[in-house]
Amino acid sequence: MKPIEIGVVMGSGSDWDTMQHAVQILEQFGIAHEARVLSAHRMPDDMFAYAEAAADRGLRAIIAGAGGAAHLPGMLAAKTTVAVLGVPVASRHLQGLDSLHSIVQMPRGIPVATFAIGSAGAANAALFAVALLAAERPELRQRLQAFRTEQTEAARSATLPPTA
Ligand code: RP5
């Protein structure tokens, strides 16, 4: 079995609908990954243990999704030098603007790469992780380019009104 390279963590099982879009991309590119719930507020000790072990476990990046008072990405970043990619999950009352502000406003010195609210952000965080790995793997770079080409062709062949 290939060693896990990317961790996908989320503050609650209720974040899965959004975060599954990150997992789908990693599966599509054949990247060894894991997905688990890791709540900053409900299981803080587990969160710190995960962050502290991340580098020694060989994780290359952690994609962390959370909603509302979305402290998970920032607190993971506080405890590891592994790259943390933050995904704001849409919250019920504030539609994820709270999540976005919580994740993006990190103090200087502890970066979290922050993506769009919701499923596009989750997918893009995974594509970004693939791009990081592709820096050292030409075959992955080619697959990423093929993904872009396919997307371009789909956009070019779009008809109006849209069908699906
Ligand atoms: C956050 O609180 C989670 O990331 C989730 O987006 C939000 C709501 O969690 P649940 O109450 O649905 O478990 O910590």
pLDDT tens column, 72-128: 999 999 999 999 999 999 999 999 999 999 999 999 999 999 999 999 999 999 999
CB 51, CB 64: distance < 8 Å: no
Is 75 touching ligand 1 by the criterion CB < 6 Å? no
Asked whether residue 128 is domain-assigned, the answer is: yes
Assess: ipTM above 0.95: yes
Is 11 touching ligand 1 by the criterion CB < 6 Å? yes
User: Cα(152) to centroid of ligand 1, in Å?
Assistant: 35
User: Cα(102) to centroid of ligand 1, in Å?
Assistant: 13
Asked whether residue 145 is domain-assigned, the answer is: no
Q: How many domains does the chain contain in total?
A: 1
Asked whether residue 148 is domain-assigned, the answer is: no
Asked whether residue 150 is domain-assigned, the answer is: no
What pTM was computed for the model?
0.97
CA-wise closest residue to 73 among 104, 42, 118, 116: 104
Query: Which residues span the domain enclosing 129?
Result: 6-137
Asked whether residue 147 is domain-assigned, the answer is: no
